[in-house]
Amino acid sequence: MIRFESDYEEGAHPRILDLLTKTNLEQSPGYGEDDYSEKARELIRRACGAPEADVQFLVGGTQTNFVVIEAALRPWQGVLCADNGHINVHETGAVEATGHKVLALPAHEGKITAEQIREAYAAHYADESHEHMVQPGMVYLSSPTEFGTLYSKAELESISLTCRELSLPLFVDGARMGYGLMSGANDLTLADYAALCDAFSIGGTKVGALFGEAVVLSSPALRKDFRYLMKQRGAMLAKGRLLGLQFLALFQDDLYLRIAKQADELAMRLRRAFLEKGWPLLHNSFTNQQFPIVPDEALRKLEENYSFSFWQKTDETHSAVRFCTSWATSEEAVMKLIEDIRRA
């Protein structure tokens, strides 16, 4: 059984395990105040062209999202996001558990637009009884989105401009950042994210690390006392160097980008195989997640040797499913799957 179910089914890139092993018995202070974490921060700042930014390492994605959002919002504010955004659907109400409403906007291909943000903001203040409604307090995007799609540079610039005009901090959840950056359809750089967002995350969990998300905080307001909130919410790892070491390995020699690129390329091969087979795609993704619409009969055959995620029924006899590649996916596994797709 080969698993294409998600992009977090293996451990870590071997260089990470090597580095952890090599440094294992060294002693260092805790909570991310060690030299490795500082070096990793410095590498990330450089990769982002953001010498002033604060970089903090958190353990997981849900944690990263709710900590950043809580840091940005006042109690009566909510966060604007796509209705299918991870925070609105798949985090067991983590944002609400910090007291804030998720203000969902109808998404197209997992994305929202500057216009939608502007309209939601305007509609709020146009209402005479706006004090009786949750005040829009920030914007959350994910890129790649839940559907593997990407914001273009023009789209992100437009959203960023709108957010600054409206004083709404902008946060991009980059749990799959690497797969986005290396996609053929992408025209954004880490420096763009740093310049356009108040905060964004660079996901390690799904891109080569055992675990870990780097948060880049461009906004001085968000940087202040951020670590108190991390500690309070259980997001400050005791042996913080474990996070520093992992991001150090990932940001040396462009490892992060190289392994992401490979995953994207394998995903593109799958994409072509689906289309050649005549299986349309539910979402037009050029990153590591692919969503073919497959005859149920063919699915039953594929299930014998592969695992993947059921997404939704599309009609009586077809279903959309999700295949993920990752940094750990082998070319061999993909070739075998493609062969079986052709035969299915």
Positions 27 through 66 that interact with a second copy (CB under 8 A) = 27-31, 59-64, 66
47 or 203: CB nearest a second copy: 203
CB of 146 to a second copy, least distance (A): 13
Q: Are the C-beta atoms of residues 2 and 305 closer than 8 Å to each other?
A: yes
Is 38:182 a contact under the CB 8 Å cutoff? Answer: no
Residue 131 as a binder of a second copy (CB under 8 A): the answer is yes
Which one of 225-233, 271-279, 316-324, 335-343 is the stretch in contact with a second copy (CB under 8 A)?
Answer: 225-233
Beta-bridge mates of residue 54: 217
Helix and strand totals (H; E) in the chain: 15, 13
User: Cβ of residue 169: shortest distance to a second copy, in angstroms?
Assistant: 15
6 binds a second copy (CB under 8 A): yes
**Residue 5 binds a second copy (CB under 8 A):** yes
The token pair that represents 44 in the structure block = 């990330």
Those residues whose C-beta lies under 8 Å from the C-beta of residue 241, and which sit 6 or more positions away, are 23, 28, 30, 32, 34, 36, 37
Residues 144-163 as x/- pattern, contact with a second copy by CB under 8 A: --------------------
| Residue 101 sits in the site that holds a second copy (CB under 8 A) | yes
Helix (H, G, I), strand (E, B) or coil at 56: strand
Considering the complex, state which of residue 49 and residue 75 has its C-beta at the smaller distance from a second copy. Answer: 75
In the bound complex, what is the minimum distance in angstroms from residue 260's beta carbon to a second copy? 17
Q: Which residue among 51, 106, 167, 238 contacts a second copy (CB under 8 A)? A: 238
Question: 218, 191, 269: which is closest to 53 by C-alpha?
Answer: 218
Distance in angstroms (rounded) separating the CA atoms of residues 187 and 189: 7
By the rule CB under 8 A, 237 interacts with a second copy: yes
**Nearest one of 211, 120, 195 to 161, comparing CA atoms:** 195
Site residues (CB under 8 A) for a second copy, limited to 319-338: 328
CB atoms within 10 A of CB 278: 8
E-assigned strands of 43-123? 54-58, 77-82, 102-105
Among 46, 49, 52, 75, binds a second copy (CB under 8 A): 75
Q: Kindly state the smallest distance separating residue 323's Cβ from a second copy, in Å.
A: 14
Phi-psi region of 329 (alpha: psi -120 to 50; beta: other; left: phi over 0): beta
User: What is the footprint of a second copy within residues 240-279 (CB under 8 A)?
Assistant: 242
- Choose which of 68, 150, 188, 229 interacts with a second copy (CB under 8 A): 229
Interaction between residue 235 and a second copy (CB under 8 A): yes
Q: Is there binding between residue 108 and a second copy (CB under 8 A)?
A: no
Q: Is 76 in the site for a second copy (CB under 8 A)?
A: yes
Nearer to a second copy, 43 or 328 (CB): 328
Q: What is the DSSP string of 150-211?
A: ---HHHHHHHHHHHHHTT--EEEE-TTHHHHHTSTT----HHHHHHH-SEEEEE-TTTTSSS
Q: What gap in Å lies between CA 117 and CA 151, rounded to an integer?
A: 15
Cα distance between the two ends of the chain: 16
Q: Which is nearer to a second copy, 14 or 184 (CB)?
A: 14
Q: What is the nearest approach in angstroms of a second copy to the Cβ of residue 189?
A: 26
133 binds a second copy (CB under 8 A): yes
Stretch that binds a second copy, among 112-120, 185-193, 206-214, 257-265 (CB under 8 A): 206-214
